[in-house]
Chains A and B, each alone.
Chain A
């Protein structure tokens, strides 16, 4: 019974961290169709922003939840203005540009923070479920991730800004005819997506040692999750993370974490063979 609870928490944690890693990309790639290969480096930037802020004496929760998203959001805004806005609708070109950006960011991290491992200790102590001990930080990640998905859903569905953003993504010309500026909407959406990437990197920073090249570990999982999720933003994110998280943890427990990662990739290949346009092209259709 206790074991079941522990496994449940680990599975939820795996799902939550997948959703968190992918949320920023879901906005930038899923909504805007910008293939941002620098997504992993955006996350790493969030991590470094957190570690730097904590080093300057900022409370770690403020650093993770406010400072990092702000920094990365702002950074996203700047690169959108400088690079991506010239490349909307040119998928291959954005891919190349963002890959260049990612290499540049890795170089900059190495110059600023050193080619070394940095980290912060987790702010939440462990606690026990019956005979088992569990990392308290897992709950924090689960909560952040759930709140994030709910907030995304609420903004996209409940607010006028969300409606306008969705409209502009589908038909920029119509949105423009209605008096909205697609240019500004794209800019803000990209900034929001970047901020989400920053948040993910920040929240995961206490769990892992951060190196300048750490982004590479996230990017594949993020793209797989978003592509497998399909056209619906939040439902796709939740269903794909749920499926992959479950597969990953099942095999991690049964065999080893390495096999867990392999199983995730195999599951992704099979899933995309059966549902080439993603889970939400068949299920949860018309949902957000």
Chain B
């Protein structure tokens, strides 16, 4: 047989058409989760473990027979720590990939970049990261800890272990700005005083003059909601100056990206944090989760707070789909609003219908030898900060991020 151009094209077209047929059939059959995460760039310490967690969650769902008898397909884009890519990929997920739900976003800036796009496109959105609170939008579900769940308990605890004069160092974007105001409120509420507040753009990595400035004020405690790879050098330089021995340090973000494992034990020891999850939680569900993670990835090194909340977010959504008997947006939303809860490695997580936030456990923890040792556990804390301003039952069309005012 001689192969000329025409017969070659005809045969390959037929062959590739035949190959594509089952793929199209499969794709129509599957329920699609779209995600956008920073798997590279300066926020990859947050995004990469979240990516691992979502793959594990989707594999678990599929191993259990999928959802509603249909397989779940994960379509994931790496946003490379670039805010511009978020809008681009979110558009693509809703227009081209026709996903049933979008999970993801790491920084608050990235969430706000895509929230309206997804709302307009009538695509359900899950933001599974601890953040500054206040988002009131029926199209979004948020299961990360908010300041009222975290800072409200972290601040008095850290102050009781140090003193009333507190210095705040925060990242200079919406998360850091709003969190700093919450910290000030809780410091005031507990009879303390915020003696200084500095904000740092995300690429600042030289904190020499700041460390000297802090010493001139001589606070009893430093609280540092710093974010990303560049800000990690603050903790290094703080220890390099020997300050970790002198002024206690608390943070609302340190450890979320496993910073406590990047820092040496000497650099990290004694830092105070409060989160929903610690690898040291000795519960059957957490141990089983860690085993499955090790099976998939070899070691538990990567697991961190927001990887687990991302994992929980996907399971919350999956439970909503099961309960609704449909992957359709409003059906799932109403199922989730029915006080739905799931139990997982970080304990029970229940959706608060009024705010679409989560009611969850919070643990006060201290970094010791690159581990987060739980000092005290507070069970099932509601997101009272957001509840105070947001009521989606009364105002289902609300679409605002409320900020704290004094």
Q: Do A and B come from one complex?
A: yes
Chain A interface (Cβ < 8 Å from any Cβ of B): 3, 6-7, 10, 13-14, 17, 110, 114-117, 119, 121-122, 124-128, 131-138, 206-209, 211, 217, 249, 252-253, 256-258, 260
Chain B residues within an 8 Å CB radius of A132 = 212, 215
Chain A residues within an 8 Å CB radius of B210 = 252, 256-257
Contact A115 B213 (CB under 8 A): no
For the complex of A and B, 10 pairs with smallest distance between CB atoms:
A117-B229, A126-B242, A115-B40, A252-B209, A208-B205, A126-B241, A135-B241, A133-B242, A135-B240, A122-B240
Residues facing A in B56-103 (CB within 8 A) are 80-81
A49 to chain B, nearest CB (A): 19
B155 within 8 A of A: no
Chain B residues within an 8 Å CB radius of A115 = 40-41, 44, 80-81
Question: Chain A CB within 10 Å — which of B204, B210, B212, B264 has the most?
Answer: B212
Contact A253 B206 (CB under 8 A): no
Contact A249 B209 (CB under 8 A): yes
B267 within 8 A of A: yes
Contact A253 B212 (CB under 8 A): yes
A236 to chain B, nearest CB (A): 24
Chain B residues within an 8 Å CB radius of A114 = 40
User: How many B residues, CB 8 Å from partner?
Assistant: 40
Residues facing A in B211-265 (CB within 8 A) are 211-213, 215-216, 229-230, 232-233, 236-237, 239-243, 246, 262, 264
Contact A208 B213 (CB under 8 A): no
Contact A10 B209 (CB under 8 A): yes
Contact B208 A138 (CB under 8 A): yes
Chain A residues within an 8 Å CB radius of B237 = 122, 135, 207
Chain A residue nearest in CB terms to B243 = A133
B203 within 8 A of A: yes
B313 to chain A, nearest CB (A): 24
Number of residue pairs spanning A and B whose beta carbons lie under 8 angstroms apart: 114
Given that A119-B236, A256-B199, A258-B200 are contacting pairs, would A133 and B241 also be in contact in the complex, using a CB cutoff of 8 Å? yes
Chain A residues within an 8 Å CB radius of B242 = 125-128, 133
Contact A211 B229 (CB under 8 A): yes
Contact A121 B264 (CB under 8 A): yes
Residues facing A in B180-210 (CB within 8 A) are 198-201, 203-210
Could you tell me the distance between the alpha carbons of A79 and B262 in the complex, rounded to whole angstroms?
Answer: 35
Of the A-B pairs whose beta carbons lie under 8 Å apart in the complex, a sample of 20, sorted by A's number, is A3-B216, A7-B212, A10-B208, A10-B209, A115-B40, A125-B242, A126-B241, A126-B243, A133-B242, A133-B243, A135-B211, A207-B205, A208-B205, A209-B42, A209-B205, A209-B233, A211-B230, A253-B212, A257-B198, A257-B200
B361 within 8 A of A: no
B45 within 8 A of A: yes
Contact A257 B204 (CB under 8 A): yes
Contact B206 A116 (CB under 8 A): no
Chain B interface (Cβ < 8 Å from any Cβ of A): 40-42, 44-45, 80-81, 172, 198-201, 203-213, 215-216, 229-230, 232-233, 236-237, 239-243, 246, 262, 264, 267
Question: Chain B CB within 10 Å — which of A6, A115, A133, A260 has the most?
Answer: A133
Given that A133-B241, A135-B237 are contacting pairs, would A208 and B201 also be in contact in the complex, using a CB cutoff of 8 Å? no
Chain A residues within an 8 Å CB radius of B204 = 257-258
Contact A6 B240 (CB under 8 A): no
Could you tell me the distance between the alpha carbons of A41 and B119 in the complex, rounded to whole angstroms?
Answer: 41
Could you tell me the distance between the alpha carbons of A116 and B246 in the complex, rounded to whole angstroms?
Answer: 31
Could you tell me the distance between the alpha carbons of A148 and B37 in the complex, rounded to whole angstroms?
Answer: 44
Chain A residue nearest in CB terms to B207 = A257
Contact A136 B240 (CB under 8 A): yes
Could you tell me the distance between the alpha carbons of A3 and B203 in the complex, rounded to whole angstroms?
Answer: 28
Contact A211 B212 (CB under 8 A): no
Chain A residues within an 8 Å CB radius of B230 = 117, 208-209, 211
Contact partner of A6 among B199, B201, B212, CB < 8 A? B212
A231 to chain B, nearest CB (A): 30
Contact B241 A117 (CB under 8 A): no
Chain A residues within an 8 Å CB radius of B40 = 110, 114-116
Chain B residue nearest in CB terms to A125 = B242
Chain A residue nearest in CB terms to B264 = A121
Chain B residues within an 8 Å CB radius of A258 = 172, 199-201, 204
Chain B residues within an 8 Å CB radius of A253 = 209, 212-213
Contact B215 A122 (CB under 8 A): no
Chain B residue nearest in CB terms to A123 = B240
A225 to chain B, nearest CB (A): 16
Could you tell me the distance between the alpha carbons of A71 and B203 in the complex, rounded to whole angstroms?
Answer: 27
If A131-B215, A206-B236 are given as contacts, then 10 extra A-B residue pairs at C-beta distance below 8 Å, sorted by A number, are A14-B209, A116-B229, A122-B237, A133-B211, A207-B233, A208-B205, A208-B230, A256-B198, A257-B198, A258-B199
Could you tell me the distance between the alpha carbons of A199 and B198 in the complex, rounded to whole angstroms?
Answer: 32
B298 to chain A, nearest CB (A): 18
Contact partner of A134 among B41, B44, B229, B241, CB < 8 A? B241
